[in-house]
């Protein structure tokens, strides 16, 4: 098996704990579903949030999904002027036989603007 990483991002409207957790959970579920990842194959997940989000740790959404033995880490995203606001980003490392080109990166809501190249490949990214 190889170690691969899959990326994803989403946005929320408000700095609200439940909104952050729900959006993160939705994104994690989409990443796992689209890439056919078993929780046992997940090595670690890095979550970043923009500096305008601090109402909840997005990693708590993974715990709500039952990921109790997966290594999780939350961090702040670099505050680049003019960058997307209220954004949650994920990098999930997992064991797989898939090639890099088979990995489906998932960008939802306002975060779709971060990867317009993926929009060209898929009509609608979850």
Could you give the domains of the chain? 2-121 (3.30.1330.40)
Please say if 4 is a catalytic residue. no
pLDDT for residue 122: 53
Among candidate residues 26, 34, 39, 77, the one labeled active-site is 77
Q: Is 87 among the residues known to form the active site?
A: no
CA–CA dist 14, 60 (Å, integer)? 17
Residues 6+ apart with CB under 8 A from 93: 3, 4, 5, 42, 43, 44, 45
**74: annotated active-site residue:** yes
Among 18, 63, 64, 122, the active-site one is 63
- Determine whether 3 is exposed, middle or buried from the number of CB atoms within 10 Å of its CB (0-12, 13-18, 19+): exposed
Q: Specify the pLDDT at position 124.
A: 46
CA distance 19 to 117: 27
Is 89 among the catalytic positions?
A: yes
64 has catalytic annotation: no
- pLDDT per residue as tens digits for the range 111-126: 999 998 887 555 444 4
Would you say 52 and 85 are in contact if contact means Cβ atoms under 8 Å apart? Answer: yes
Give the pLDDT confidence of 51-104 residue by residue, as tens digits.
999 999 999 999 999 999 999 999 999 999 999 999 999 999 999 999 999 999
Alpha-helix runs per DSSP H in the chain: 17-34, 59-64, 116-121
**5, 11, 26, 44, 53 from 114: Cα distances, Å:** 17, 11, 18, 23, 18
pLDDT digits (tens, 9 = 90+) for 95-114: 999 999 999 999 999 999 99
């Amino acid at each position: 098996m190889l170690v691969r990483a899959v990326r994803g991002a989403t946005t929320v409207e408000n700095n609200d704990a439940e909104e952050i957790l729900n959006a993160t959970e939705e994104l994690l579920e989409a990443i796992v579903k689209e890439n056919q990842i078993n929780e046992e194959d997940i090595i670690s997940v890095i979550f970043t949030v923009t500096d305008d989000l601090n109402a909840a740790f997005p990693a708590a959404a993974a715990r709500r999904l039952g990921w109790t033995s997966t290594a999780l880490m939350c961090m702040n995203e670099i505050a680049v002027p003019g960058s997307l606001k209220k954004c949650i980003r994920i990098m999930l490392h997992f064991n797989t036989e898939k090639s890099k080109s088979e990995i489906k990166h998932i960008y939802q809501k306002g975060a779709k603007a971060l990867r317009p190249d993926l929009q060209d490949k898929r009509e609608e990214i979850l």
